Amino acid sequence: MRPATQGEFLERLQAHGRMLGQVACSYARSDADRADLGQEIVAQLWRAFPRYDPARPFSTWMYRIALNVAISFARRQRELAPLEEAGAVRAPEGQGEREGQLRMLEQFVSGLPPLERALVLLYLDERSQREIAEVLGISESNVSTRIHRIKGRLRERAGARERGESG
Amino acid sequence: MSELDEMKQAWKEQGRRLAQLEALNLDTLRAVRTAAVGSDLRRWRWLPALELAMGVVAQLWLVRFIEGMLGAPLLVGSGVALLVAALLGTIVAARQLIVVSAIDYAAPVAEVQARLERLRTLRIRATRWTLLLSPLLWTPLALVSGRALLGVDLQRAMGWPWVLANLALGYALIPLGLSALALASRRWAESPAWRRLRDDVAGRSLARALRSLEEIAAFRREA
C-alpha cells in the first residue's frame, strides 16, 4: 500500500469528472440521488486509492469502482422505492435534433439491465473492447457480440420512433 | 443519427456538462474524509458482525446454563433448542462476513455484482427463516429466562398445560404473524421497510435476488 495524497487523488478525479458524471446520471433517478451517488463513488474511490496500482490504467480501476458502487446504489434505490417508475435522471433539456437523439439514447440506456448499461457507457466513452472486457470481467468476444446486439436494438427503436413521428 | 457510434460525440458533450454539475471538489473529499458518506459494504458488515458477537455470547451463556440444569430434562431441552438456534445464527453471520470480506470494488464488475447478489440471497434467507421460526422458540426462551432471571421453573409452577398451550401458540403465531404482516404492509404501503419485510417473508425478495444472479450469470456467459 502506498501513501495516498489528496492532491494526486483530486487531480485524477477532476480529469475523469465527465465519466463520473455520466455514471452517476445513468444510475440515479433524481438530482438528489445523483449527488448522493456521486459522493458514494468518490468516497469508495478515496478509500480504495491507497491500493491503486499506478502500473495499471487509472480509468479501468476507476470505472470498476464507479460502476460497482452505482449498480449497488441503483439496486438499493429500486428496493426502497419499487412503486416509483424506473428511469434515470435526464441531463438539462436542450434544443435541436441532436438533443432529441440524446434523450432517446438516455431513455434507451436507462432501460437496459445494469450490466448492459455499464457496457454501453464504456462503449460510448470510446473504451477499447479489451478495456471494456477488463472492467466488466467478461471476454472480448462477449463484449463484441453484446455491442452488436445492442446496436441492433437501438436501430430498431430509432426506426420505430421515426415511423411513429411520420405516421 | 440512430447509430450508437454516431452518438458518441453528443454523449461526450453531455458528459462535459454533467462533469460541471457534479460536486467533485474539495467539499466532496472533505465529506468523504470525515466519514459523512456511507458505503454499501460498511452497511453489509456491521449487522452480521453484531449478530456474530451476540450469537457467540448467547452460546457461551447457554452452555453454562445447560451444564447447571442437567437434572431438569425440559430445561436442558429448551436450552439445547436455543443453543442450536444461536449456533445456526452464528454460522450464517460468519458466512456473510466471509463473503463480504472477499468483496473488492476494484474487481471486475460482473464478479463483484455476483458476490453482492449471493450475499443478498444469504441475508434474505436468514431473515426469512428467523421470522418464520422465532415463534417456535418462544416457549424454550420463556422456560430458560424464567429459570435464569427469576429462578422459577415455569413448567413446575404453571404445569404442562401452560407449556403445551405456549407451544401451540408458537405454531399459531406463524400464520397469524404472516396475516398481520400482510395487513400492515397494505396499511403502510408507502413504507419501504414494511414492503421489504413482507417481500422477505413471502420469498419475493429472494426470487428477485435469484433472478438478478441468473441475469449476471447469463451476462458472463458468451452471448
Question: Cβ(A101)–Cβ(A162) under 8 Å?
Answer: no
Of all residues in chain A, the one with the smallest CA distance to B16 is A18
What is the mean pLDDT of the segment spanning B106-111?
A: 94
CB contact under 8 A, B28 and A76: no
Rounded to an integer, the average pLDDT of A116-126 is: 93
Contacts of B42 (CB under 8 A, 6+ apart): none
What per-residue confidence (pLDDT) applies to B106? 92
- In angstroms, rounded to a whole number, what is the distance separating the alpha carbons of residues B155 and B22? 66
How many angstroms separate the CA of residue B95 from the nearest CA in chain A?
Answer: 20
Query: Among the residues of A30-136, which ranges form H helices?
Result: 31-48, 58-80, 96-110, 114-124, 129-136
Average pLDDT, chain A: 82
In a domain, A140, yes or no: yes
What span, in angstroms and rounded, lies between the C-alpha atoms of B131 and B150? 27
Query: Closest Cα to residue A23, out of B151, B150, B136, B18?
Result: B18
Whether residues A38 and B22 touch (CB distance < 8 A) is answered with yes
Angle between helix axes B73-101 and B40-68 (nearest 10 degrees) is 160
For residue B139, give the C-alpha cell: 416457549
Q: What is the pLDDT of residues B163-182, one digit of tens each?
A: 888 888 888 877 877 777 67
pLDDT score, position A84: 42
CA–CA–CA angle B143, B149, B151 (5° rounding): 75
Is the pTM here over 0.90, yes or no?
A: no
Cβ–Cβ under 8 Å, residues B18 and A91: yes
Closest CA to A150 of B28, B219, B85: B219
Q: Which of B18, B33, B106 sits opposite A25 (nearest CB)?
A: B18
| pLDDT above 70: percentage of residues in chain A | 84
- The answer to whether residue A1 sits within a structural domain is no
Q: What is the mean pLDDT of residues A118-130?
A: 93
Query: What string of DSSP letters covers A127-148?
Result: --HHHHHHHHTS-HHHHHHHHH
Contact call for A64 and B11, based on CB within 8 A: no
Q: How confident is the model at residue A14, as a pLDDT?
A: 79
Q: Are B139 and B163 in contact (CB under 8 A)?
A: yes
Q: Do A138 and B31 touch (CB under 8 A)?
A: no
Among B7, B33, B106, the residue with its CB nearest the CB of A61 is B106
Q: Which of A112, A119, A126, A155 is CA-nearest to residue B1?
A: A155
Structure confidence at residue A87 (pLDDT) = 44
**B155-162 mean pLDDT:** 84
**Number of structural domains in chain A:** 1
What average pLDDT does the segment B137-160 reach? 88
Assign A85 a pLDDT band (cuts: 50, 70, 90): very low
Interface mutation target, options B3, B26, B105, B213, chain A, most CBs of A under 10 Å: B105
ipTM above 0.90, yes or no: no
- Number of other CB atoms surrounding residue B178 within 10 Å: 15
**A130/B182: higher pLDDT:** A130
Residue A92 lies in a domain: yes
Chain A CB contacts of B22 below 8 Å: 17, 20-21, 24, 38
Q: What percent of chain B has pLDDT over 90?
A: 25
One DSSP character per residue, A10-35 reads: HHHHHHTHHHHHHHHHHH-SSHHHHH
Q: Name which of A3-7, A50-54, A102-106 the model is least confident about.
A: A3-7
Helix extents (H) in B103-203: 109-133, 138-150, 154-158, 160-187, 192-202
pLDDT digits (tens, 9 = 90+) for B4-49: 877 787 777 777 666 655 555 555 666 565 544 456 667 677 888 9
pLDDT of B149 > 70? The answer is yes
At B107 the pLDDT is 93
Among candidates B37, B189, B195 on the partner chain, residue whose Cβ is nearest the Cβ of A40:
B37
> pLDDT of B66-89, one tens digit each?
999 888 899 999 999 999 999 999
Nearest Cβ partner of A21 from B18, B25, B216? B18
Size (chain A), residues: 167
Residue labelled with grid coordinates 453454562? B64
Q: Is residue A104, in this structure, part of any structural domain at all?
A: yes
* CB-CB neighbours of A163 under 10 Å: 9
The structural domains of chain B, with segments of one domain joined by +, span 36-220
CB contact under 8 A, A102 and B196: no
Contact flag A123-B4 (C-beta cutoff 8 Å): yes
What residue type is assigned to position B123 of the chain? R
User: Which of the residue ranges A28-42, A82-96, A98-112, B160-174 would you say has the lowest mean pLDDT?
Assistant: A82-96
Q: Which residue has the cell 434505490?
A: A77
User: Count of CB atoms within 10 A of residue A152's CB?
Assistant: 11
Q: At residue B202, does pLDDT exceed 70?
A: no
Say if residue A135's pLDDT is above 90.
Answer: yes
Give Cβ neighbours of residue B118 (< 8 Å, ≥ 6 apart): B99, B213
Range of the domain at A114: 6-166
Task: Give me the pLDDT at residue B47, please.
Answer: 82
> What pLDDT, on the 0 to 100 scale, is given for residue A83?
41
pLDDT at B6: 75
Mutate to test the interface with B, among A63, A97, A138 (most CBs of B within 10 A): A138
Integer Cα distance of A99 and A126 in angstroms: 20
CB–CB contact B112 A92 (8 Å)? no
Asked whether residue B155 carries a pLDDT value surpassing 70, the answer given is yes
Chain A interface, best mutation among B2, B9, B17, B197, by max A CB count within 10 A: B2
Say yes or no for a CB contact (<8 Å) between B220 and A20: no
